[in-house]
Amino acid sequence: METKIFAHRGARWCRPENTLASFQQALREKADGIELDVHLSKDNELIVIHDETVNRTTNAKGFVHDLTLSQLKTLDAGCNFKLQASSPLLTFIQRFRSLLIKKVYTHEKIPTLGEVLDFLEANNFTGCLNIEVKTDHIHYPDIETILSEEMVQRELSFTYLYSSFNFRSLELLHELEPTVDLAYLTYNNQNEIERGLEADFITALHPKKSYALSKHFESSRKPLRVWTVNAERDIKKLLTKNVAAIITDYPEKARRIRKQC
């Protein structure tokens, strides 16, 4: 089967991560899948953001779980954006482009998961949405139930899967949605890999690229979607290893490389 290309936090290389702008760009770049991260706000809304705090990606400071949805909606999720340079030779042009993009997207808002689902539906997305449940550093009581309720009430035109570094979150999601695709996120840690391979309800592994790129690795009993793979040589290597998917900040570049291979 052809290796799929998943857009990591959207097309993060050129748009503020985990915003509707980055998901729109991922659609433009024809990503097969889109990856995003979810946390819970103070009033138990599913918030699409990577970090536990808003410090890095917005103009404010604080934990997501200490802010209500209406407080989060006042924040600017585009103001700290920096274009990821694809070549050092293009630095000057890229810096200019970065400023331009920052100006255009500077008032981008943090979306809720519901808003992202509506957006993908409205734009006829037919790929796979990878929802990462960010419970590895913070315990959000009931996030799995709230998430599952949000997902099952919808008739979506696209498929979805849950991933998490937190094994317990995946167990809970399995109880709530016994047939859903569940991926265990791992680093390059053999014990974690074994745990994911042995648990029947885990349908795939999402290992860090160093695991799948290691010269000892040949194949896996379960599909591998590997993160976060941005360098051309790594993308090429993983394509030859026939992994199920590559999770990348550069979906269009990865698609171009896949076409050439």
Check residue 132 for interaction with Ca ion (CB under 5 A). yes
Looking at the Cβ atoms of 10 and 78, the one nearer to ligand G3P is 10
Task: Give the active site residue among 8, 39, 174, 206.
Answer: 8
Give the integer Cα–Cα distance in Å for 212 and 243. 8
Per CB under 5 A, which of residues 44..73 are in contact with Ca ion? Answer: none
Give the integer Cα–Cα distance in Å for 181 and 176. 12
Please, what is the minimum distance in Å from the beta carbon of residue 209 to ligand G3P? 10
Looking at the Cβ atoms of 109 and 206, the one nearer to ligand G3P is 206
Looking at the Cβ atoms of 13 and 94, the one nearer to Ca ion is 13
Nearest to 135 by CA among 46, 57, 204: 46
Q: Are 77 and 23 in contact (CB under 8 A)?
A: no
Whether 50 sits among the annotated catalytic residues: the reply is: yes
Check residue 249 for interaction with Ca ion (CB under 5 A). no
Looking at the Cβ atoms of 35 and 144, the one nearer to ligand G3P is 35
Stretch binding Ca ion (CB under 5 A), from 29-37, 166-174, 198-206, 208-216: 29-37
Please, what is the minimum distance in Å from the beta carbon of residue 240 to Ca ion? 25
Quick one: DSSP state of residue 224? B
**E strand or H helix that includes residue 198:** helix 190-198
Give the integer Cα–Cα distance in Å for 242 and 86. 25
Binding site for ligand G3P (CB under 6 A): 8, 35, 37, 50, 132, 163, 185, 206, 227-228, 247
Give the integer Cα–Cα distance in Å for 28 and 147. 27
Beta strands 245-248 and 225-226, pairing class: parallel
Catalytic residue list: 8, 50
